[in-house]
Amino acid sequence: MLNRRNFLKATGTSALVTCFPASLAALQRVQSPGKIEKRTLGRTGRQLSMIGFGGIVVTNADSRQASERVAEAVEYGVNYFDVAPTYGNAEEMLGPALRPYRDDVFLACKTQARDREGARKELEESLRRLQTDHFDLYQCHAVTKKQDAERILAPGGALEAFLEAREQGKIRWIGFSAHSVEAAMTLLQGYEFDTILFPVNFGTWNRGNFGPQVLEEAQKRQVGILALKAMAKGPWPEGAERTHPKCWYEPLSDPAEAALGLRFTLSHPVTAAVPPGDENLFRMALRLALDFRPLEESEVQRIKEMAGRNEPLFRYPSPEA
């Protein structure tokens, strides 16, 4: 397994994320009138919009729709875009739509390959489809099993392809997304990753004991924290109508509840949250983010009550890890 590098320690700005409301003191926050707040991303020095554009927003869109959705997001101040080969035709749609803005945005992509050669090939294909010569961030995608995390870090694993690509200028920073605490901790402790993309959700946090451990570890290591599932309600109830086909979980579609969910996530030392891929829910998140304010102590009980009404998407320990 690759040895972990020596890395910088937080210097007095680390927040105790196991408590809530958490401190945002570790983040540099930039607010401009009429635009979504920007926050620093870990050690990278980059400032990202606290709402990210998930590529699924343009999955199954036509060229005009994709361009309009990207342009609208940019007008709100969004400069963080995240996509993956598994998102249908999102790469093909996002590439041309992003072309007018490419120099000014932070583009992240992912691979589910766990081996060196598979990751290298997928990287090259994604660069071609997105019509770019580099990614600002390249990530191991959806790591759940601890053995997959170990495979990524081992000789011949995907991380080797990432390191080669960084030397070649094809990627700038290296990260991962994970769906279990076990996998996330294995990766965080196995290599000096620049970022983590992880579910930070009011329900999993309060009912699943899922999230505090990972955020605390990431912050100790000055890893940039990107959040998934801020607007997730829970698993679709059995027999329920799937009102949002792009969401594999039931989203928070009520604006008041969605605002609470989003504020819960962004009240932690998180740089950005990626909303659901449904274009209408994404647009709702853009509007809600303009009025963001951290949760207050008086609102914590409301969040806990909301969490108590739904089954969490993830738990720790994870039965799948």
Q: What residue spans define the domains of the chain?
A: 39-308
Taking CB atoms within 8 Å and a gap of at least 24, the contacts of 305-309 are: 306/202, 306/203, 306/257, 306/260, 306/261, 307/202, 307/203, 307/205, 307/206, 307/207, 308/206, 308/207
Average pLDDT over residues 40-52: 97
Cis peptide before 21 (omega within 30 of 0): yes
pLDDT-above-90 percentage for the chain: 92
Average pLDDT over residues 125-144: 98
pLDDT digits (tens, 9 = 90+) for 245-266: 999 999 999 999 999 999 999 9
Q: What global pTM score does this model have?
A: 0.94
Residues 6+ apart with CB under 8 A from 81: 52, 53, 55, 70, 94, 98, 105, 106, 107, 108
Residue 278 scores a pLDDT above 80: yes
| CATH class as words, domain 39-308 | alpha beta
The Cα 59–Cα 65 span in angstroms is 10
pLDDT digits (tens, 9 = 90+) for 189-229: 999 999 999 999 999 999 999 999 999 999 999 999 999 99
